[in-house]
Amino acid sequence: MMAERQVEIDRVEREWQHLSRLVDPELPGWSRTGFSDADRAARDWLLRQMREAGLEAVQDAAGNLVGYLEGDMPGAPDIVIGSHSDTVPGGGRFDGIVGVLGAIEVARTLTRSGARLRRGLRIVDFANEEGNPQGVKLVGSRAAAGSLDAHALGSTDPEGVTLATLMERAGLRPDEVSRARWKARDIAAYIELHIEQGPHLEQSSAHIGIVTSICGISTFSLDVRGRRDHAGTMPMNVRQDAMCCAADAVLAVREVAASGAGAVGTVGQVTTSSPLTNTISEQATVTGEFRSPDLAALQDMQARFAQRTAHLDELHRTQSALTWGHFDAPTPMDERLSRLAHAASTDLGYDTLQLYSGATHDGVAIADLAPTAMIFIPSRDGRSHCPEEWSDFEDVERGINVLLETVLRIDASL
């Protein structure tokens, strides 16, 4: 790395500290959920940071922040770098944020060093990667990829509020979201720097991870119907207890997911019609998801879970309806870009590991549009989506160095 292309990690850390204060005081951890007031304040600040870095920066109709650094070959497809700055409720300070601040620092370092790219460089903060009460993930990147459709915008939360209304309340124009769409011919490559959110880099003492593929994911909702009865008088062997069926369904998720490498299953919530202990619940809802690096394994988990819920109905004399929601097939990363990123990392002297991502990312949406690759840095104790989420700034600096070097090599190679 040439000295004048030295990343200013102290500045990145100061920006990280400022962004860490732009959170929702009503929620635990470092919460900045999509389209919330905290999210809006953070994006206003990030837009100013992009402009202070000398970028032409705008917010599009979907809420994406897009900064632009002109290249020497007008009309050539752009290189895109970035991530997301929203969090899960009760989340941490590094998930997505490292990729957004890192991308801005890459642009600043290029400008400061006088290095000129042939291609334009887009620096992006994708809106609402984490999803919302309406159950729609990757909102901004799906808008950019043209896959945020009317069905997604019309999705409702438990109170009946649509995603479009949530976006309008944040001052956005969901009715104009088609204007946020990128053309495939305008994008040469997308590279995202992100924390691993798992334990593998730390366990292998590698500095950098190059992602081979991003997990496939399948969400579900199970609606269980039983019969409301008196809890004190109805014998156990004739009850139609929706809560007991739901509880067995939660355990079935764990059993079905204990099936293969990388397969996971998680239940988010169990709700019932009656919180009373003197009344047997006649209705329960279980929401959850399965993930796997392998499409056939993901589909096999879906089939086995459906079989298990049918069996539970016989056991509990209930009727349950299983509805599958959001589905993404596993997304392989672009091999050529990944080789360039791997070479950039090893040439910088970093121990580099190839690994699969158990977390989903905006790259799942953007990979429909352009060759995509991801660079990981270690997460302390492999933890994420929690206030304890942490990455050392020496690792953040290494990640930004690899991102910068990868951009330079992509630009020189295309």
Tokens describing residue 38:
């905290």
50 contacts 123 by C-beta, under 8 angstroms: yes
Name the one range near Mn ion by CB under 5 A: 30-38, 52-60, 96-104, 331-339. Answer: 96-104
31 part of the interface to ligand HGY, by CB under 6 A: no
139 part of the interface to ligand HGY, by CB under 6 A: no
Q: What is the rounded end-to-end Cα distance, in angstroms, of the chain?
A: 21
208 part of the interface to ligand HGY, by CB under 6 A: no
Q: What is the three-class DSSP state of 265?
A: strand
81: which residues sit within 8 A by CB, 6+ positions away?
99, 102, 103, 106, 121, 122, 123, 124, 190, 191, 192, 193, 403, 407
206 contacts 391 by C-beta, under 8 angstroms: no
Question: Binders of ligand HGY: how many residues, by CB under 6 A?
Answer: 4
Q: Compute the least distance from the CB of residue 84 to Mn ion, in Å.
A: 6
Q: Which of 360, 372, 401, 406 binds ligand HGY (CB under 6 A)?
A: 360
130 part of the interface to ligand HGY, by CB under 6 A: yes
What's the alpha-carbon Rg for the chain, to the nearest Å? Answer: 23
Compute the distance between CA of residue 401 and CA of residue 405 in angstroms, rounded to an integer. Answer: 6
127 part of the interface to ligand HGY, by CB under 6 A: no
96 part of the interface to Mn ion, by CB under 5 A: yes
Q: Compute the least distance from the CB of residue 69 to ligand HGY, in Å.
A: 27
**360 touches, from Mn ion, ligand HGY, none (C-beta below 5 to 8 Å by class):** ligand HGY
Nearer to Mn ion (CB atom), residue 81 or residue 252: 81
Nearer to ligand HGY (CB atom), residue 23 or residue 407: 23
73 contacts 126 by C-beta, under 8 angstroms: no
95 part of the interface to Mn ion, by CB under 5 A: yes
Length of the chain: 414
Nearer to ligand HGY (CB atom), residue 87 or residue 338: 87
With residue 224 as reference, give the H or E element that holds it: strand 216-225
Which parts of 193-241 fold into alpha helices (H)? 200-204
Tokens describing residue 201:
């880099």
Nearer to ligand HGY (CB atom), residue 134 or residue 360: 360
- Sign of torsion, CA 375 105 63 92? positive
Nearer to ligand HGY (CB atom), residue 283 or residue 360: 360
Q: Compute the least distance from the CB of residue 99 to ligand HGY, in Å.
A: 12
Q: Compute the least distance from the CB of residue 40 to Mn ion, in Å.
A: 19
Report the interface residues with ligand HGY, using CB under 6 A: 129-130, 359-360
Report the interface residues with Mn ion, using CB under 5 A: 95-96
